[in-house]
Amino acid sequence: MEAPPLFFGRFLRILAGLALLAWLVISPPSGLPWRVVLVFFGLSLVVGGIMAYPGCEISALPNLLLRRRMHCF
Q: Which of 53, 48, 49, 27 is nearest to 38 (CA)?
A: 27
pLDDT > 70: percent of the chain: 82
Predicted TM-score (pTM) of this structure: 0.74
**Burial of 3 per CB tally in 10 Å (0-12, 13-18, 19+):** exposed
Q: Which residue has the higher pLDDT, 9 or 46?
A: 46
Assess whether pLDDT exceeds 70 at residue 2: no
Give the pLDDT confidence of 25-54 residue by residue, as tens digits.
Answer: 888 888 888 888 888 888 888 888 888 776
Q: How confident is the model at residue 11 (pLDDT cuts 50, 70, 90)?
A: confident
